[in-house]
Every structure is written in C-alpha cells, then in structure tokens.
Structure 1
Amino acid sequence: MARVLVTTDYLRPGDEVDEYLHSAGCATVHRPLRGGRDPEELVAALHGIDAALIANEPLTADVLSRAPSLRVVVRTGVGYDSVDVAAATKHGITVSNLPGINANAVAEYTLGLLLATARRLVQTATGVAAGRWPRDDGRELRGATLGLIGYGASARAVIPLARAFGMSILCVTNVPVDERPDSDVLFVELDELLRTSDYVSVHAALTERTRGLLDAAAFARMKPSAFVVNTARGPIVDEQALASAVREGRIAGAALDVVSTEPLPPDSPLRSVEGIVVYSHLAGQTAEARRAAGLRGAAELLDALAGKPRFALNAAEVTR
C-alpha cells in the first residue's frame, strides 16, 4: 500500500480526493501547509512516504536526500520552483505539475485586479470603512494597453477577457512565432512593452532569467501612470525597487497577488506604500480550480506510481 503525503491546504481527510486515493489502495497522511514550514518538519512528514501531493513545499536537495522512500511528487498547481527537480531526478523521484489547471481562475482574477486598480476599489472601500467618503476619479480599461509578460495558459486566457474590455494587448515571450495563434496580440521586446503599456501583468515562470526581471531599471522605463500586476511568482519583481518607484511617483502603483516571502513579513518594503495593494496568493484558488487540481493531481500521482506519469517534468531522466 502506497503512503501519500498531502500538504495542499484545501485538500482534507475524507474529501473527494482523499476517497479517490483510498479507493486506489493508498493510505493518506495530511499535513496542510499554511505559511512557512521548517525543513526538519518536512523531512519528518516525508518519513515512510511513497508519493506527495504538495503545495509550495520547499523540497530542497537536502530534504529530498532524506526522503529515501519518496518516488513521486505532484504539485497541485503550475509553478514548481519550490522543488529542486535536478535533485529529485538524482534520487529517482518523478516531479509533475499540472499545466493550465487554473488558467481560467488566474485570468479572471487578473481582470479583477486590473479593474480594482483602475477604479481604486480597495482604497475607496478602506476609506469608507474609516469614516471617509472618497470620491477620487478612476480610469477606464477601454483604450488602455495591457502588456503581458509571458504567454502560457493563464496569459492566453487573459487575452479574450482584456479584448472584451477594449484593451490593446502587447506580449513578450520566448514561445516560437508559429505557436502564437492570437493575431490581435502584438508581440514585442520587453523594452517596448514596458515603455508602452498602461498595465504590465506578469504571467511568467520563476527562473534565473526572470528572477528580478522587474527591477529599478525596468520601472524607470515605464510610464509614470503605469501599474504592475503580478499573479505569477513574487521574486520576479524586485520589491524594494518597486516600493521606491511607487513612493517616488516613477510608476503609479501595483497589485500583487504574490510576494517573495509569504505570508507578507511585517518588515516588507511593500507595507504602507500608497498605491501598492498586496493580496494573499489567491489567483488560482476558485472552488472549480481547486477541485480540478485536486482530482487531476491525484490521478497524476497514481499514474506516476504506476510508471506512467502524464505531466512529469523529468520522467525521461529518472532511472530506477
């Protein structure tokens, strides 16, 4: 009987995913991740575990080296930067993610952030709650230019929604030209996107190339009236540089669903900066997306245990 560790916080004992795994002959252990987790606690949780259905667990080389029974890791999401895939491969562990599983949820949330930013919804509601009656004007999305950094599933799902609001769309990507079906999108270099966009929305994976991509030099190239929206990964944005740029009026503001350290630390430079609103990493967290991620993740875990993963990042390299 395979023992499965489940750390995704919305998956619970006795739920649909748990019953599915039990029906396949697995025993489950639930250790929900809420905020940070000490590596030693994670090592202890992985003791005797064959497969793990995980959230953003820091599966480092050290942690993986101390999980000798672990054979399969499945992320219940798209990003997998918290997993050392090379170390997993070395130890014969397949690592899977779920491409596009929450693209619709992220796209709708992105439009929500754009609208909230353009119409100052958070600031207005906060003002009313504090006893004021704010009447500042907002901006319309129609006629504005949206710059997408990345062209994965979530970015592609944003495009028709942004078009419906009458926005012009730019995109920077490494996707080959013959794999770009959106004829209404203008594909440009990053410099042009930054100089031209009214809203810059991040949809890229976190890699060494994208880490700190939006830094002080990037903000200096943007319009003073422009906003940054990030629903991808926190470290893509240099938070100190962003805070300085907004505070000094070099850009207008930012809506961030993700930050470098989650939950947001008390000493974060993003705190108390007028124009920066931080949310709690909810872009992909709808009931529909969570159900799909849980069930598809469980199915992928079982397939991987059987040696037939569909979404493994390293299946070809893993030797047993």
Structure 2
Amino acid sequence: MREHGLDPVYSPAAGSRTEDEQRELLKGAIGAIVASEPITRGMLAEATDLRILARSGVGYDSVDTDSAQELGIHVANTPGVNHHAVAELTLALMLNCAKHLTDVIAGTNAGQWPRTAGTELRGKTLGVIGYGPSGKAIAAIGAALGMKVIVGTSHPDTKADPSIEFANVDTVVSAADYLTLHARATGTPIIGADRLAVMKDTAFLINTARGSLIDEAALVDALYHEQIAGAALDVLEAEPMTADDPLRSFDNVWITSHLAGQTVEARECAGLAAAQAVIDALGGKTPTGLIV
C-alpha cells in the first residue's frame, strides 16, 4: 500500500469496541480494510472521506451495504481466499462427528480409556448446499474419500467430477448422511423445521458458512426430539454465543468460534487481496469482489 502512496493505519482490537470507538474507527480514512465487526450506517455517515471498504474475507453480512451504496462508498470482499481453509475445517468437523474425537480426547485426559466405536466417511452420502469455492473444495474432498457426493445449487457444474451429482436442495437434504452448508446468506434460513424434519435421524448438520442459514430454534427442537444425530457449527446467528444458549446443552453439538478461515495462509491471502481492492478502487479501477 505504501508503494502506491497510501499511509496504512493499523487499529487492532481485542474483543468488541465501544460505540464511540466504532464511530472513530473510519473517520479521516479514504479506504478501510475490515474483518467481521459491524460496520453501521452511523459509522459510514461520519466517515466523510471514505471511498472504499474492503472485507478481508468472503462474508459481508456485518456491513450495511445499502447505506454504503447510498453514501457512495464502494464495498468489496475477497472471494476465494479461504476456501481451502473452510473445506479443511468442514472435514475436521465431519471427522469429529464420525469418530467422536473431542469426547474421546476429553475422556482420555480425564483418566478414562474410552473405546467409542466410530463410523467411516467412506460410503456415506455427503450433501453439499452451495457450490462456490468452498462447496467445490469439500465436494472434491468427499469424492476423494469415497463418499457419494450430491450437491444442491442453482449453478450446476457440467465439468465437475462425474462422480458428483447435482439435485434440488430438498433431495440433497433428505439423502445426506452429512449435510454441509456453503451458501450465501439469503435473508431467510435454508435449513428450518421443514427440512430438518426430512433429514435422516442418523445425519449430521455442519455449517461453516453463515449462521443465518439455519433456524437455530428449529435446530434446537430437532435435536431435542432426536430428529438428527447432531450438528457441528462454526457460525451462529449471534456471535459470540451466550452462556445460556440452548445449543450448549447438547452432547451431540460441537461448536467452534467462527475460525474456518482463520489459518495463517488464508489470513495472509485475505489481507493482500483486501489491500489490492483498496489500491484498485482508489486508483480508479474496479476491485475484484466489488459488491456495491
């Protein structure tokens, strides 16, 4: 960025910022690179010099894009920078569901010697909803492991591995032994009570995409009534989760702290891509990943 005449100011924060700190964050800046903290209309309205806001990641739910567009501020994300990381965590969560790894490790550390029987991924049906970069990556991994892969997407890939099938979302939901979400936020959940009701009672639901893709109240009800075997979630409707979140009460729910894209490699790629988006926008070019 300095090579392009820009003066970067680094403003790290541990935990959430106060409202006043948020409002001061963007003042005086002509460009900004942000992570997942909320970018509100109030912040954007007071950032009168701001011309480009770049998300160092794929999701931009936390940015008020309508207000940005109204105020003439470009917003860009960094698509494709962390799909390998997301797919790898998805695989890790699937393996944990199949092998009970965290439970066995906790028992061993507590002085026990648990011999819990796991299951194999080979031969199981992997249902993938969404076929962007991370969806494609986990589908390829599933096929390599000998899983039957069935994908629900509005954009089927005719050049995909012939072992990967495409079907409507409802067919994918009902067929999957492991159902993993890799779709964009749509404003309404993709997985609600109706689709949870048709999942196999031996199936696991995995979400490393967006918390809003799942109706969590419906998920809690489905888990309570043992409609599905369990869930592994890296993203939630509200983060961080509260101490009284009912999802904490289930032994067959494993939750990680929104870290699918938090690898050293992915963070470096995301930072460089976001910096390039700022450079391009301020230089009169259209950034890759332009949203508004």
Q: Secondary structure at the match of 1:30?
A: coil
User: Which residue of 261, 276, 285 maps to 1:299?
Assistant: 276
Alignment partners' CA distance in 1, 2:32 and 2:285 = 16
Question: Which residue does the alignment assign to 1:272?
Answer: 249
- Offset of residue 268 of structure 1: 1.2
Seen in structure 2, the aligned counterparts of structure 1 residues 217 and 251 have a Cα distance that, compared at 3 Å, is same
- The answer as to 2:170 corresponding to 1:191 is yes
Question: Which residue does the alignment assign to 1:217?
Answer: 194
Alignment partners' CA distance in 2, 1:75 and 1:123 = 36
Q: Which amino acid counterpart does residue 274 of structure 2 have in structure 1? A: G
- The answer as to 2:139 corresponding to 1:159 is yes
TM-score, normalised to structure 1, is 0.86
Q: Which amino acid counterpart does residue 183 of structure 2 have in structure 1? A: A
Render the CA deviation track for 1:242-299: whole Å, top value 9, x for unaligned: 1222232110001111112222211212112110000011111211111111112111
Question: Which residue does the alignment assign to 2:124?
Answer: 144
Q: Secondary structure at the match of 1:225?
A: coil
Question: Which residue does the alignment assign to 1:17?
Answer: none
- Which stretch of structure 1 is more off in the superposition, 81-90 or 140-149? 81-90
- The answer as to 2:152 corresponding to 1:169 is no
Q: Which amino acid counterpart does residue 278 of structure 2 have in structure 1? A: L
User: Which residue of 164, 185, 210 maps to 1:206?
Assistant: 185
Identity of aligned residues (%): 44
Question: Which residue does the alignment assign to 2:217?
Answer: 240
- Offset of residue 312 of structure 1: 4.4
- The answer as to 2:229 corresponding to 1:252 is yes
- Offset of residue 150 of structure 1: 0.3
Alignment partners' CA distance in 1, 2:141 and 2:112 = 33
Seen in structure 2, the aligned counterparts of structure 1 residues 160 and 263 have a Cα distance that, compared at 3 Å, is same
Alignment partners' CA distance in 1, 2:46 and 2:162 = 50
Alignment partners' CA distance in 1, 2:119 and 2:157 = 35
- The answer as to 2:101 corresponding to 1:121 is yes
- Offset of residue 35 of structure 1: 4.3
Alignment partners' CA distance in 1, 2:168 and 2:143 = 21
Q: Which runs of 5+ in 2 are unaligned?
A: none
Alignment partners' CA distance in 2, 1:130 and 1:66 = 53
Seen in structure 2, the aligned counterparts of structure 1 residues 172 and 42 have a Cα distance that, compared at 3 Å, is same
Superposition RMSD in Å = 1.7
Seen in structure 2, the aligned counterparts of structure 1 residues 122 and 200 have a Cα distance that, compared at 3 Å, is same
Alignment partners' CA distance in 2, 1:126 and 1:62 = 45
TM-score, normalised to structure 2, is 0.94
Alignment partners' CA distance in 1, 2:71 and 2:159 = 37
Contact 1:247/1:274 (<8 A) preserved: no
- Offset of residue 189 of structure 1: 1.4
Q: Which amino acid counterpart does residue 46 of structure 1 have in structure 2? A: L
- The answer as to 2:88 corresponding to 1:108 is yes
Render the CA deviation track for 1:104-147: whole Å, top value 9, x for unaligned: 11112211111111101011112222332221211100000000
Alignment partners' CA distance in 1, 2:214 and 2:237 = 8
Render the CA deviation track for 1:23-49: whole Å, top value 9, x for unaligned: 333222222254444443211111111
User: Which residue of 79, 83, 100 maps to 2:59?
Assistant: 79
Alignment partners' CA distance in 1, 2:218 and 2:110 = 30
Q: Which amino acid counterpart does residue 190 of structure 1 have in structure 2? A: V
- Count of residue correspondences: 292
Contact 1:239/1:269 (<8 A) preserved: no
Contact 1:194/1:222 (<8 A) preserved: yes
Alignment partners' CA distance in 1, 2:230 and 2:157 = 35
- The answer as to 2:267 corresponding to 1:287 is no
Question: Which residue does the alignment assign to 2:34?
Answer: 54
Contact 1:33/1:55 (<8 A) preserved: no
Q: Which amino acid counterpart does residue 225 of structure 2 have in structure 1? A: E
